[in-house]
Amino acid sequence: DAGVIQSPRHEVTEMGQEVTLRCKPISGHNSLFWYRQTMMRGLELLIYFNNNVPIDDSGMPEDRFSAKMPNASFSTLKIQPSEPRDSAVYFCASSLGDRGGFGQPQHFGDGTRLSIL
């Protein structure tokens, strides 16, 4: 089975540019999560969706970040304008529905390594 697919794997861009990260969740999963990982702060939840609806975006750092899930098989995380402090590895994960909170495992993609110069 195909796992969670993220693209691109690496992105290097200049400060001020728009960055779009993409994620294809595992088919049949209806919860999708975006994370950011840095050495200083570890793995942080940015936002998660359930049935394509954003449920909790309290982790989104600021208005420069936005996420969409137009359908069950695709999500984007956009940063506009990008800044050097946004440099990190961004992960997408999916799981079976978890509104009840009963611990469904999350399946992670291999991340996008983003460098903002």
Partner 1 sequence: SQKIEQNSEALNIQEGKTATLTCNYTNYSPAYLQWYRQDPGRGPVFLLLIRENEKEKRKERLKVTFDTTLKQSLFHITASQPADSATYLCVRRDNYGQNFVFGPGTRLSVLP
Of 27, 51, 81, 99, the one binding partner 1 (CB under 8 A) is: 99
The one-letter amino acid at 117: L
Q: Shortest Cβ distance from residue 15 to partner 1 (Å)?
A: 25
CB burial of residue 92 (10 Å; 0-12, 13-18, 19+): buried
Q: Which tokens in the block code for residue 73?
A: 């098989």
Could you tell me which residues come within 8 angstroms of residue 26 by beta carbon, excluding any fewer than 6 positions away? 1, 2, 3, 4, 94, 107
Contact status: 49 vs partner 1 (CB under 8 A): no
* 14 vs 60, beta carbon nearer partner 1: 60
Contact status: 96 vs partner 1 (CB under 8 A): no
Please say whether the beta carbons of 104 and 70 come within 8 A.
no
Q: How many Å from the N-terminal Cα to the C-terminal Cα in the chain? A: 36
> From residue 23 to residue 42, what is the string marking binding to partner 1 with x (rule CB under 8 A)?
-------------------x
Of 67, 79, 93, 114, the one binding partner 1 (CB under 8 A) is: 93
Contacting positions for partner 1 (CB under 8 A): 4, 42-45, 48, 55-56, 91, 93, 98-103, 105-111
